[in-house]
Amino acid sequence: MAASGSGFHADPMHQFVVQQIFPIHIGGLDASFTNAGLYMVVVIALATLFLGVAASGRSLVPGRWQSIGELSYEFVANMVRDTAGTEGMRFFPFVFTLFMFILFANVIGMVPYTFTVTSHIIITFALAAVVFIGVTVLGFIVHGAKFLNFFVPHGVPKVLLPFLVVIELISYFTRPMSLSVRLFANMMAGHTMLAVFGGFVVMLGLLAGWLPLLFSVALIGLELLVAFLQAYVFAILTCIYLNDALNMH
Amino acid sequence: MSNEPPPSHPSLAELEARLQKARQAEQGTARRRKDEGEARSNAIGIAFRLSVELVSAVVVGGGIGWLLDLWLGTKPWCLLSFFVLGIIAGMMNVFRAARDLNARAARLAQDVPPAPADEDD
């Protein structure tokens, strides 16, 4: 939010611009290393570092870092066990990785001047697509062709059946969409709002700037909550989908 | 805060027993506190979840219809009918999500007897 150069220019969307850091071209493909890529590397490095530090002590009475590590482990483990059952615990590493990645991406995005990886729909969609395709394949592996029964509701008149199967199919294909849009929209809306109110502070100056400043402080608190909540929602919906694939209700 | 000095080398069994005791004492209040906090902070999340569920079903339905139109060359008809089907699927999604949330809330309320009953149906 710099008011540098010729007067003040607040562009709340500027923070979402993807910039090249160094160009890489493979064939006709633009695989350049961008700030989005950089922050994904940062997210993974910090999450790995955090869990490495947390797991390095291995003391019986945990210290601070180990406590946080154990807390996050148990939080996700309970979530998987509660929603997908003990059978679903096979997929705990996947869900935990997903949860930590999204949580770290969201929280790191709260640091000023950083880039929020999860505020781009292509990234959240990629995550959701992995979940969606993985769960669908899993359903077919576990149940074989019987998994198609998932789309046939029980106890309905024969006349309505084709109609309802189409609706069930649409409802199923909605999953990656709602999963990705929810995370992306929350992050993008929150960060835009933060930038807009930050811009107000600069615009109004000392005279009335403290009012949007107060609002900004409250908003940052809310955004931290949303950062955690959205990681949680993404992880728990993954568990619910896993449960559907494993147990078919 | 207890004044008794902790044993210098607590055995694993002793430690486990102490942990168990502390957990039991903590559990009731902690869980109730967590429920209340969760209920309040989740309200935004729930509202957002339901609305996204509805909208995305309509978009996906419309998208499928549009693609079918491109493929079959039946210009507006697939789009129109799948749009309507998308709306229906969206309502079904919202209904299911709300039902699951209700079931979850009911299960939590059963776990902790003194929890406030805030569900009116």
Task: Please report which confidence band the pLDDT of residue A2 belongs to, taking 50, 70 and 90 as the band edges.
Answer: very low
CA torsion, ordered A193, A197, A202, A205, to nearest 10 deg = 170
Q: Where do we find the tokens 């959240």?
A: A124
Q: Do A167 and B41 touch (CB under 8 A)?
A: no
Contact B59 A177 (CB under 8 A): yes
To the nearest whole Å, the CA of A173 is away from the closest chain B CA by: 7
Express each pLDDT in A151-162 by its tens digit: 888 888 888 888
Beta-carbon separation of A170 and B89 below 8 A: yes
Residues of chain A with pLDDT > 70, as a percent, come to: 96
What are the two backbone dihedrals, phi and then psi, of residue B119, each rounded to the nearest 5 degrees?
A: -90, 130
Neighboring chain B residues of A174 at a CB cutoff of 8 Å: 53, 56-57, 60, 89-90, 93
Residue A154 to residues A158, A168, B25, B94, B104, Cα–Cα distance (Å): 11, 12, 46, 19, 23
What does the pLDDT look like over A13-68, one tens digit per residue?
888 888 888 888 887 788 888 889 999 999 999 999 999 998 888 888 888 889 99
Pick A166's closest partner by Cβ from B42, B45, B85: B85
Q: Dump the DSSP string for B15-76.
A: HHHHHHHHHHHHHHHHHHHHHHHHHHHHHHHHHHHHHHHHHHHHHHHHHHHHHHHHHHT-HH
CB contact under 8 A, A181 and B52: yes
User: Would you call B49 and A167 a contact, using CB atoms and an 8 Å cutoff?
Assistant: no
The predicted structure's pLDDT at residue A4: 40
Does residue A240 sit at the B interface (CB-CB below 8 Å)?
Answer: yes
pLDDT above 80: residue A84: yes
CA dist B97 → A19, A204, B37, B63, B101 (Å): 38, 44, 21, 22, 6
A65-84 burial, b at 16+ Cβ within 10 Å, e below that, comes to: bbeebeebbeebeebbeebb
E strand or H helix that includes residue A84: helix A64-84
Contact list in A for residue B103 (CB cut-off 8 A) is none
pLDDT in the model for residue B120: 43
Q: Name the average pLDDT for chain B.
A: 76
> Contact, B70 vs B60, CB < 8 A?
no
The per-residue pLDDT for A3 is 40
Q: Say whether pLDDT at A127 is over 60.
A: yes
CA pair distance A135, A244, nearest whole angstrom: 9
Across the interface, do B59 and A233 touch by the CB < 8 Å criterion?
Answer: no
| A189-243: pLDDT as tens digits | 999 999 998 888 888 888 888 888 999 999 999 999 999 989 998 999 999 999 9
What would the pLDDT profile of B9-19 be if each residue is shown by its tens digit?
A: 667 788 888 87
A237's tokens: 């919906």
Q: Which ipTM was obtained for this model?
A: 0.70
Residue from A43, A50, A207 nearest A111 by CA: A43
Residue B38, pLDDT > 80, answer: no
Chain A nearest CA to B116, separation (Å): 22
